[in-house]
Structure 1
């Protein structure tokens, strides 16, 4: 970029940036595994007791291991550590619930399914420290009957917007393309750990991609360079990005042969750590130019934890407003008070651009959408 300092107006949308962390990024691994554990617990609770029980398994820390990548295939010499923590109902009357077993097995299955070259039996050590829930929070589950509106598990806010910008859509398309099964067949050396940063400066777009490459498929430095350039050409051609600058693995130093080579396809194998809540929001992006909550939604129960539910609701209401042609752009902010019905937020704030409907119409529309919150767990659990 010729001039990388831009001074502009706060309402100027000709400059923006956003990013997306791919499936094998350490932060995404933590998010995805804790969310899957919550879903498995929900399904177990429903099957055994007919209802979702109190749980919030929304804490996880991934401690990077150590590896020795090598052309043709290296090895992991110190395993990754994944520490899962949170709270969950572990016993109902005389029935004990295997919370720890569910958590560990779910994590292993997710890794086996999503990180192709990571051996979940030896390349990672998984520890679960999920404990019983707070008595006060468990009590909130008991204070409403079946079909009633759940009571907020926390004082939290959610934020959402719609639609995404063309830059944001393209970032998702790039990452989706890199991790598409057909791409992996054509380019098996692409690891699951990807990150795409997009920048728009007036009419120019720049995409910087971090892409772990798997050493088994790389014979030497020239082969690495050739394969990286082939992926770049594939992205530009597939997504018609001829008007954009695309850069891959910009930290590579060919002179010192310091390149993004991995054994497993994730940077977690050698010192890159991860944590729940540091990755993508529920729309799949990190968007500094649009509102977003820093609340970690992954692993929170979908029944009454507004730190999760309200973020989904804000995104859904924003989309519904635009798709109903009430406005061209919407963003929604919503905040709860612990112990209050989740359909009675302390504040629901809607901001619109190019509004096409009167305030009363939009207010009635929002109130109707709030009534759906008693069944929102189903929308989250089975999406």
Structure 2
């Protein structure tokens, strides 16, 4: 591992500076797509571990959602066409003669996840799961007279005869050349975006305010102590009897967000706007049957929403990788982004500096030995390379624990 350390990182948690931060809520179509892809990977992985003691090769990180249609009016909301889940990817369908019930696993995981994320969505009736899965190998499988006898060859990547055909059981290596990027600590704008959305979509708030949905989107712009925040907050049609109620609750949402923002950033001046596209005279409003625009034609795609840290921070270093649905065993597009976040957090705790970490993999290289590790910090002097090497080595040594957190659903990927 080559270690590069440098300075020049802006201390975003300081009073001066600018942040532009977006957060797509739990009911946003892109967040739903991430959640479905990860739920499928998790369910498939658990099945394989229970049946075989190892996770078969798979990736569902190209999953997308196509929105349905809904009849929405004051006091009433119902779907009229289903939400479609397009599960695109590759999944091992059998280990030797043991057939894996891939379609059943995928369908159950997708519907269960969406039913939990959108309780007003009848997932059995209004979610259609369409699997588009193959077992084709990536480039590298070169045919020849002896390829059928080779253990752990590319020929057997998605068609293993026994566990010996899983290459990672012989040597754990990076499946791709990619980079995982993360920063720590969170800036005020990031804290606001994350904290407000989590409050508005939390169980306690939803129980107290059933009129609001979870397809919430926040855009935060901070310039020094001044923060401007625009929120999109859906309302549930059956809980909203008329226009006056809708307007009153829109105003209430603005006041509630302002209150939460005051607790998170008491030394900042926060201005809040809610549902700025509404036209009360027509009316055209953010009124929904289920609390998400996925019910009415919007689409969701893995990787288009929040990064692995749950945010889209426009002026911070970040990776474009879609983390959700990637194989948790060896896929660097998942593991290196999460590892970079942990490394940045540990380095900040040890140095007190704002830290950005990039872990760059090299296809075929040992998974726990990144090709390049770049650390940029605030302050006048770079962190020592030996210090960085020790922290990253410790983080990479903990990948097994990270995988368990992913499989237990305790570590978010979007």
What TM-score do the two structures reach when normalised by structure 2? Answer: 0.85
Work out whether 1:312 is the aligned partner of 2:338.
yes
Work out whether 1:292 is the aligned partner of 2:313.
no
Distance change >3 Å, CA 185–CA 293, structure 1 → 2: same
Give the distance between the partners of 2:384 and 2:64, measured in 1 at CA. Answer: 47
Give the distance between the partners of 2:400 and 2:207, measured in 1 at CA. Answer: 43
Residue 117 (structure 1) shift: 1.2
Give the distance between the partners of 2:39 and 2:50, measured in 1 at CA. Answer: 16
Q: Which runs of 5+ in 2 are unaligned?
A: 1-7, 142-153
Deviation readout 1:328-383 (Å, 9 max, x if unpaired): 11111112122221122221111122358533233233233333335542243233
**SS in structure 2 opposite 1:200?**
strand
In the other structure, the counterpart of 2:34 is 31
Residue 172 (structure 1) shift: 0.7
**SS in structure 1 opposite 2:229?**
strand
Deviation readout 1:169-191 (Å, 9 max, x if unpaired): 11111101111111112210111
Work out whether 1:68 is the aligned partner of 2:71.
yes
In the other structure, the counterpart of 2:3 is none
Q: Which runs of 5+ in 1 are unaligned?
A: 1-8
In the other structure, the counterpart of 1:165 is 187
Contact 2:177–2:360 (8 Å) recurs in 1: yes
In the other structure, the counterpart of 1:280 is 306
Work out whether 1:219 is the aligned partner of 2:241.
yes
In the other structure, the counterpart of 2:147 is none
Correspondence for 1:49 among 39, 52, 62: 52
Question: Greater RCO between the two (CA within 8 Å, min separation 6)?
Answer: 2
In the other structure, the counterpart of 1:326 is 351
Worse overlay, 28-37 or 230-239: 230-239
**SS in structure 2 opposite 1:62?**
strand
**SS in structure 2 opposite 1:190?**
coil
Residue 37 (structure 1) shift: 0.7
Residue 149 (structure 1) shift: 5.3
Correspondence for 2:258 among 218, 224, 236: 236
In the other structure, the counterpart of 2:211 is 189
Work out whether 1:259 is the aligned partner of 2:281.
no
Distance change >3 Å, CA 353–CA 12, structure 1 → 2: closer
Contact 2:9–2:355 (8 Å) recurs in 1: no
Distance change >3 Å, CA 10–CA 298, structure 1 → 2: closer
Give the distance between the partners of 2:390 and 2:92, measured in 1 at CA. Answer: 38
Give the distance between the partners of 1:157 and 1:71, measured in 2 at CA. Answer: 48
Work out whether 1:202 is the aligned partner of 2:224.
yes
Contact 1:327–1:356 (8 Å) recurs in 2: no
Give the distance between the partners of 1:45 and 1:156, measured in 2 at CA. Answer: 27
Give the distance between the partners of 2:362 and 2:383, measured in 1 at CA. Answer: 30
Give the distance between the partners of 1:221 and 1:50, measured in 2 at CA. Answer: 57
Give the distance between the partners of 2:41 and 2:84, measured in 1 at CA. Answer: 20
Work out whether 1:362 is the aligned partner of 2:388.
yes
Residue 233 (structure 1) shift: 1.7
Contact 1:100–1:130 (8 Å) recurs in 2: no
Alignment root-mean-square deviation, CA: 2.2
Deviation readout 1:287-345 (Å, 9 max, x if unpaired): 1111111111100001100011100011010001112x224111111121222211222
**SS in structure 2 opposite 1:192?**
coil
Give the distance between the partners of 1:26 and 1:357, measured in 2 at CA. Answer: 40
Contact 2:258–2:271 (8 Å) recurs in 1: no
Give the distance between the partners of 2:227 and 2:171, measured in 1 at CA. Answer: 46
Give the distance between the partners of 2:174 and 2:78, measured in 1 at CA. Answer: 47
Contact 1:149–1:343 (8 Å) recurs in 2: no
**SS in structure 2 opposite 1:198?**
strand
**SS in structure 2 opposite 1:18?**
strand
Contact 1:45–1:53 (8 Å) recurs in 2: yes
Work out whether 1:349 is the aligned partner of 2:377.
no
Worse overlay, 84-93 or 339-348: 339-348
Worse overlay, 307-316 or 184-193: 184-193
Residue 129 (structure 1) shift: 1.8
In the other structure, the counterpart of 1:6 is none
**Runs of 4+ in structure 1 over 6 Å off:** none
Paired residues, what number? 372
Contact 2:29–2:300 (8 Å) recurs in 1: yes
Give the distance between the partners of 1:112 and 1:246, measured in 2 at CA. Answer: 31
Give the distance between the partners of 1:10 and 1:364, measured in 2 at CA. Answer: 21
Work out whether 1:124 is the aligned partner of 2:124.
no
**SS in structure 2 opposite 1:234?**
helix
Residue 245 (structure 1) shift: 0.7
Contact 1:65–1:80 (8 Å) recurs in 2: yes
